[in-house]
Amino acid sequence: MVDFNKQRAIAKNRVRRRGIYILPNLFTVAALFAGFYAIVQGMNQRFDAAAIAIYVAMVLDGLDGRVARLTHTQSAFGAEFDSLADMVSFGAAPALVIYEWSLRGLGKLGWIAAFVYVAGAALRLARFNTMLEVADKRWFQGMPSPSAAALVAGFVFIMDDYRIAPEAVAWWAFGVTLFAGLIMVSNVKYYSFKTINLKKSVPFVALLLCVVFIALLSYQPAVVLFGGFVAYAISGFVVSGWSLLRRRRTADPGS
C-alpha cells in the first residue's frame, strides 16, 4: 500500500531544498547593484563614486557567504548567483570604469587591457567554481577577483583623489589593469582569510590595530585602501616564493 503522507513529505522536502533563501541572496543582489551602480557612475564621469561602489560590492560579497553559512542557508542557486554577480561587480565594472577614466586615450591598447582584465576575471571565477571541492580552504590559487577589482578601483580612486590627470598616468593604468587581470589566473597563492574564527578571543593589540586602521581609513581612505590591496597583491608572491624555497630545501637536504 502506498504511503501518500510519506510521499507528500518527501515532495515538500524536495521543494524546500530547491527553494531560494532570501537572506544571503539579498546581500548578493546588493553587491550586484553596487557593481551596476559603479558602471553607471563611470559612464557619468563620477569615478570616485564608481570606485567606492566597487569597494561596497566587495564588502557585500564577503558577507553573503558568511551569512549563508551562519544561517545554514547555502544552496546551489546561491553559489551560481553569487558567481554571476561577481562577474558584473568585479569583472565588467572595474574594467569599464578604468577604461572610461584613462584607458580610452590609449586606443586599441586600452580596450585590449580592459578585455584582458574581464577575461581574467571570468577564467578566475570558472576555475574557482570547478576547484571548490578540492582546493585548500586556507589559500586562493591566483588573486581573488574582488581583490583584483579593489586594486583597479583603488588606483582610480587615489589618482582621482589627488586630482592627477588620467592622461598623465594612462600607461600606469594600463599596467595595473593588465597585472590585475593576469594575476587572477596565475598560480600565485593568496591567503583566503577563511580560517579566521571571529568567535575566538584575541590579544588586546589586535583590537588596537583595528582602531588604528579605522582611524587611518577615515583620514586617508584612498591611500589606505589602495596601499592595503597593493600589499595583498605583493603578499602572494612572497608566500609563493617562500613555499618554493621550502620545497627546494626539502628536496635537497644536503645543501
User: What's the CATH number where 79 sits?
Assistant: 1.20.120.1760
* Cα 210 from Cα 153, distance rounded (Å): 23
In the structure grid, which three cell numbers stand for residue 134, read together? 578540492
Question: 163-180: per-residue pLDDT in tens?
Answer: 999 999 999 999 999 999
Contact 156, 97 (CB under 8 A): yes
- Give the number of domains in the chain: 1
* Cα 180 from Cα 152, distance rounded (Å): 7
Which position has the grid cell 586602521?
213
pLDDT value of residue 242: 87
Burial 106-143 (b: 16+ CB within 10 A, else e): beeebeebbebbbbbbbbbbeebeeeeeeeeeebbbbb
In the structure grid, which three cell numbers stand for residue 92, read together? 565588467
Question: 124-141: per-residue pLDDT in tens?
Answer: 999 988 887 666 778 888
Give which of 241, 49, 57 is closest to 148, Cα–Cα: 57
- DSSP classification of residue 183: H
Question: 45-74: per-residue pLDDT in tens?
Answer: 999 999 999 999 999 998 888 888 888 888
DSSP β-bridge partners for residue 189: 141
- DSSP classification of residue 199: T
Residue 25, amino acid: N
Who has greater pLDDT, 79 or 144?
144
Contact 54, 153 (CB under 8 A): yes
pLDDT value of residue 132: 72
In the structure grid, which three cell numbers stand for residue 232, read together? 595583498
Range among 5-9, 11-15, 20-24 with highest mean pLDDT value = 20-24
pLDDT value of residue 1: 42
pLDDT value of residue 73: 83
Question: Residue 168, CB half-sphere, CA atoms under 13 Å: how many?
Answer: 7
> Domain range spanning residue 93?
4-251
